[in-house]
Amino acid sequence: MNDAASDGAGGPDVLLANLSTSGPSHMVLPPLGMAYAAAALEARACTVEMIDCHAASIDAAGLADAVARSRPRIVATSLYTPGLHRFETGY
pLDDT tens digits for range 4-61: 444 445 789 999 998 866 555 566 677 888 899 999 999 999 999 999 988 888 888 9
What confidence score (pLDDT) does residue 79 get?
A: 75
What confidence score (pLDDT) does residue 87 get?
A: 63
pTM over the 0.75 mark: no
What confidence score (pLDDT) does residue 6 get?
A: 45
Nearest Cα to Cα of residue 75 among 11, 29, 1, 23: 11
What is the C-alpha to C-alpha distance for residues 12 and 39, in angstroms, rounded to an integer?
14
